[in-house]
Structure 1
Amino acid sequence: MQKKKTLLDDPRWWDFIEKYAYDIGRFAVEVCGMNDIDNQAPTWQQFDLFDLAQENGCRVSVSSGHGSGKTRSAGIIALWHLCCYANSIFMFSSPTMAQLREEVWKEITICHTFMANSEFAWLADYIEVKTESVYIKGHKKTWYVIAKTAPKGKPENMAGKHGDWYMVWVDEASGVADANFGVITGALTDKRNRMVITSQPTRGNGFFYDTHHSLSKDQGGVWDKLVFNSEESPIVSDEFIAEKLIQYGGRDNPEYQIKVLGKFPDRTDIYLNSEAQVTWRMGKSVIGPEMGYGYLICVDVGAGEYRDYSAIIVVRVTGYGDHGEQARRVELVDVPLYSNSRDLTFLSGKILEVYTEYENANVLIDRGGMGVAVCQNLENLGVPVTRVNWGDPCFNNELRKRFVNQRAQALVMLARAIKEERLGFLDQRYQTQLLQQGSRIPYFFDEKARYKIMDKQSMLSEGIKSPDLWDALAFAFLEGAYYTLSEKSRQISQSTKKAQKESIKAKLRASLNK
């Protein structure tokens, strides 16, 4: 029986690799079809990456902002390496693989489909694209592209890959443990082995950070560093940049620096707010009589230990979201309870008492731990309760991309409201506690450039007590913190609107009589 021919037996392949093996840019345009409106031509940033990645033994580190073509580049380079080097291995790695597999494999599939409908259909026939691997037919175990990651604390899972034509691409590299990089780079034993790492620059330490600093070529290291700044990318619209400037709070905001500029943020702080910023909001009013507002009763239930306090606060709120003219405004108007008592019956009774005092008020209660019993007590008494479980992810997909969980979302939006003077403390009885708690909320960014707040156990190890009052205040900024207009607010708003109309009419009559 005659042996089936493989790619190595096809004379066309030898001419192909002579043309493209050291020209990724040409491969992208001619083989993958990146040359028209429907299939975006490579940008100058992508060409910079292609030029570096095609060199034998390359070490390239890319810090990138939104939408600058990093994922498309990954798909093209993986397919190029597979098509141009016999028995080559290309490995993708990342802290979390699902999104990488979906997005990069999508790009590989798009390029492979173009090949199959072009003059390179003969080459496409040798390539098999599967859900978690891409390989050359007849060489499934020796000539392929795969994705692999290591569980936390087990870097040895990344070991075992070697080859003359071996290339590694690590995405979200800022969140990869240094121990993993030790194993990955230890496998690059041939001088032709290549490595590219990409990430949003979420933290100022670690291996990825070092490749842009102490390990970079301009400081005597081996790493070429690139920055894909979204503001400079031809494929990122001006409208998108303008939207993100507003959404993230300006060019000086660390979130904007990371996600748009592709820049390690200029962070001199580890806390969301300073004490001076919180102090400035004491005694300030931020909701005018013409603004329709409602009341929220926010309750953080102590964990059952005397070092944790239960807090009941009443806030007046209007608006939604964290930016724009209708962004949420909050006034702290009352703190009916701040106590380390563990009497849940008393706590439930106090909440009921406050609920009957404020018309149309909505009640939000932390349902974690002992909070479940308080929620049940009030619901049995007929009080509608919104249960807060802020360890859960956000509901809105856009917020999921920005915040690790609802806790981060609420606390970050509270911090922004303070900076933008959309929060005021009318009740100042617990000013000392509010200043201490509000100015000591440590935050950082995870490997996906999402805000993350230090957990309470870690805060305690840093000497930071549980911020119970501040947590309760933050409930007012949760995406699910809805309010109902109070009757008084409705009447004032209607009266104000009526007065405004009469004023306009009077001015119009006066101008006509002149």
Structure 2
Amino acid sequence: MSKPYNVVTDLLDLYWDDPVAFAEDMMGFDPDDWQRDVMMDVAQFPRTSVRSGQGVGKTGLEAALVIWFLCCRPNPKVVCTAPTKQQLHDVLWAEVSKWLENSMVKNLLKWTKTKVYMIGHEQRWFATARTANKPENMQGFHEDYMLFVVDEASGVSDPIMEAILGTLSGAENKLLMCGNPTRTSGVFYDSHNRDRSRFCSHKVDSRSSKRASKENIQMLIDKYGAESDVVRVRVYGEFPKAEADAFIPLELAELATGAAVDPIGDTLHLGVDVARFGDDETVIAPRIGMKVFDLKWYNKQDTMVTAGQVLSIGREMLRSFPQLEFVEIKVDDSGVGGGVTDRLNEVIAEEGMYGWRVIPVNNGGKPTDDEVEHYENRGTEAWAIVRDVLQESFSKHMQGEPISVELPNDERLITQLTQRKYRMTSKGKLALERKEDMKKRGLDSPDRADAVILSFVTDNALHYTNQRPAGW
């Protein structure tokens, strides 16, 4: 057995699951804390995504992981890609060359302009550079051990990313995406939003990095403003505030998930979005004051069961919060929701449930504020109320006041709230994107978001039951 092969087997045994130690021992690479975290996630999990500001050391991290994977997996294939040839070859591939040349494994690997391979195993043991300009460049790779490194991932188109994801089918196939978060759509954006439960996601702010130029950071802030999208993307590692046609900006919803608001008030609000069967969810959203509690969701249950769940949650909340005197249940009354409304009214009347009332909401009906006529229907109006509440909380927070709205830290909820678009009708009114059109874009039906929106609906025209039951 050759001496180089003996060295490789030693590396496999020692550094298989520890790229940090490999980079330090074999490459003289001194990783920052966030780089350590990312490297260990790549070792342990299949998909890792990093959004960051400029100058924090993304390219060095990528190069270290490429060399580690080549040395610490048998017969691996590593595919490096970026949106442009310049970014791929002049930046990422050159960084691999730099770190390899100064490493203790430089005699094991051969670097060329398009390939790095294990000497003596050129055909099966290599890394290659492929520009992300057509899907077929990413296809045809099959191996037990594969690593795809996507640099400036926000600029890689969905068809190419989908080709990469389709290739990664093995248990030891891995994906690392890094980049400035320049777009609020696409696979990279989704990895930090609706799909982040499937990724190990990281955010790196340039201000916290010892590698980033503080002079350049201040120049960007002075030139563009601290809250500009340029600074958000290049310094904070945040996505732009929103696409032009997104109804609720991501930053408004995310701020509310990090709040801690006291449940103040004497009324429990229950938003109920009903889906009888199929893949959509029936969701119940409890709210007291400006605090929305954890959502309850169910699949494939009939309207009678849903009505029972609503009543059970209401009673449980009343026991937990003694200050409550009233319960308002706001039900999406269109379609199968009408059955839930009818059953709830029956039970409330039969049992003489003091303080309970049901508010049926027809999202396709006329807005309640007919004088303003900003919105095409009541559903759009309801979403606008929540958007304005979140915007007011955000604006006050930016002035140093506490966050005034709390949402549950629910990935699907935040995605649904922030990915729904709007349009302007021919009559000059705002109209929410239809659920059918959202599904065509590959998004979930916004059931969780709709339940939260419903919890904020008010209707003073209906009245409470007047009798308080025994034991209330």
Greater radius of gyration (CA) = 1
